[in-house]
Amino acid sequence: MARMSRPSSDKLSALRQAMRANGIAACLAPTADPHLSEYLPGHWAAREWLSGFTGSAGVLLVTGDHAGLWTDSRYFSQAEQQLAGSAITLMKQKVAHAPEHLTWLQQHLHRGDVVAVAGDSLSVAGQRQIARLLDEAGVALRTDLDLPAAIWADRPALPRAQVFEHALAWAHTPRSDKLGRVRTAMRKLGATHHLVSSLDDIAWLTNLRGSDVECNPVFLAHLLVEVDGHATLFVDRGKLSDTLVAALAHDDIRIADYATVTGALGELRAGHTLLLDPAKVVCAIASAVPATASRIEAANPSTAMKARKSEAELEHIRDTMRRDGAALVRAFRRLEERLAAGMTQTELDVDALVREERGAQPNFIGESFATIAGYQANGALPHYRATPEHHSTLARKGLLLVDSGGQYLGGTTDITRMLALGETSAEQRRDATLVMKGMIALSRARFPRGASGPQLDALARAPLWAAGMDYGHGTGHGVGYFLNVHEGPQGIRPPVAGGALVALEPGMITSIEPGLYKPARHGIRHENLAVVVEAEQTEFGDFLAFETLTLCPFDRRALEPHLLNPEERAWLDDYHATVRAALAPLLDDADLAWLERHCAPL
């Protein structure tokens, strides 16, 4: 990630000077790159560099006399800490009576003012939305100025990590077949060309992986697919071995320099029709398409294709879950023994233990995200990350939240467990049990084919709602296959006005992770991954269900069993019986004894 080289106040002064020189009243620095990724290479972490805020979501807005950082409830506490003492104000998103950043601009700018945002960090759809709202206030938008880059003297270079093949033994479907499916979709839409800029789509389509983005096995590239011709991969040629270039050529994929994608688009002509996803292509690249060429705007066909895992992929994932669960059992057992022996342990030690045990597993590549090990009050920060400068020491009491995941050749994992390190309060156990009730309710759900995540989200929240409580994040996100730990198009979250309702389909993997956060006290989150499977056919149609994939015991010492009804108790006992049967062959001695103890019936 980018690192601050001077105080944010100095950077804001330099930015404002550049704004005045170019006649700009306001500058937006979103969290984005030319691929609209969630996690960014340091080269495009301008918002972090300017503000010092390291969260994965947020927008920095700077005017002549105001600087505000807009972010959501997952990061309120983190942003307050990281912005303290700076000249930047935390502006809370999705909070009643608090203006979003575009509304704020409408309210505070004057007719004739100009707003600048770098076109390589703004989607086609985003450009239209901003331009429409600003136009209502008589304010203009410029996307041809990258003002943060103009003052960023020590900007990190583009990453140069090597690209490697995701072998067919793991990927199963040849890239030629995947491209064939995309071309079939293109023909149905009437497209002659298709531009793909989203990195996980490109990695999946080409059966290639990289490490240009921390914890995400992707590489910087664009892909232009011709419906009746070749495909061109725009990538730094130095990242590819000659053997890999030859293998791609065999599948009629040519290599071109990463920076030449706009030039290739500029060569489209009358009679060509380009398919692009307006939410996944930046306006700076889309603007290169000549007016004489036609455009079709629709979701990338590959996004839905990669979301539905094949049975062969699922078999690898199930085995990966067993290995990952065994690693966590070893890590948690070792942590308990260290604490019992009086050894000093911190949140950083938890991170190291989990990483060490995962690293001993076959086919492990790396973490799927930075481990969140939050003890007591730190668990109330949904995206907390312990650092050498700021971390807590564990004691033999209270709750430890551990949210972690791994990247394996055979799948991506993401799991959260609450560990009771000793005596817990009645409030903590009650809260943990209410969250567990919601997790069980969603895990046991049966739903008709065509149902979407927003329609199911309330199942996980109902026990908390009944107690007058809620949480501010979604309940579930899609997960890739040795790809990004956050993957669309599906998700389980509250309905949003105008938001698309993506049906859950067999083969889609989602997290199920309700939570509850009480600042300065404690945070609770339970998380498993589950895959959508066919359940039954009735006179009312086809019904689907979730098969839980994650295999690791819950710490029942953190729960109040009497608050669980008989069906919930039975689900938890059945889950633990499944975990025991799956993990016992991989464990022995003290680890097996720990597993047996934690998988015993309630």
All domains of the chain in start order, with CATH: 8-151 (3.40.350.10), 164-299 (3.40.350.10), 311-598 (3.90.230.10)
Judging by DSSP bridges, how do beta strands 476-478 and 446-448 pair with one another? unpaired
DSSP state of 393: B
Report which of 591, 418, 584 is spatially closest to residue 514, judged by C-alpha positions.
418
CA proximity to 33, closest of 363, 254, 282? 282
Q: Please, are residues 558 and 551 in contact by the beta-carbon 8 Å criterion? A: no
- Calculate ∠ Cα 407-45-403, nearest 5°: 35
**168 neighbors 207 (Cβ within 8 angstroms):** yes
Task: Show the DSSP H helices in 227-346 as ranges.
Answer: 242-250, 261-266, 283-286, 301-307, 311-340
Mean of per-residue pLDDT scores for the chain: 95
Which helix (H) or strand (E) covers residue 260, if one does?
A: none
What's the confidence (pLDDT) of residue 358? 98
pLDDT tens for each residue of 442-454: 999 999 999 999 9
pLDDT at 416: 98
Cβ contacts of 12-18, under 8 Å, gap ≥ 24: 12/50, 12/62, 12/67, 12/87, 12/88, 14/151, 15/50, 15/62, 15/147, 15/148, 15/151, 16/62, 16/64, 18/147, 18/150, 18/151
Q: What CA–CA distance (Å, rounded) separates 245 from 255?
A: 8
What stretch of H or E contains 418? strand 415-420
pLDDT of amino acid 3: 39
For CA atoms 138, 141, 147, 148, the dihedral sign is positive
pLDDT on residue 2: 36
Contact between 422 and 340 under an 8 Å Cβ cutoff? The reply is no
- Enumerate residue ranges in the chain where pLDDT < 50: 1-6
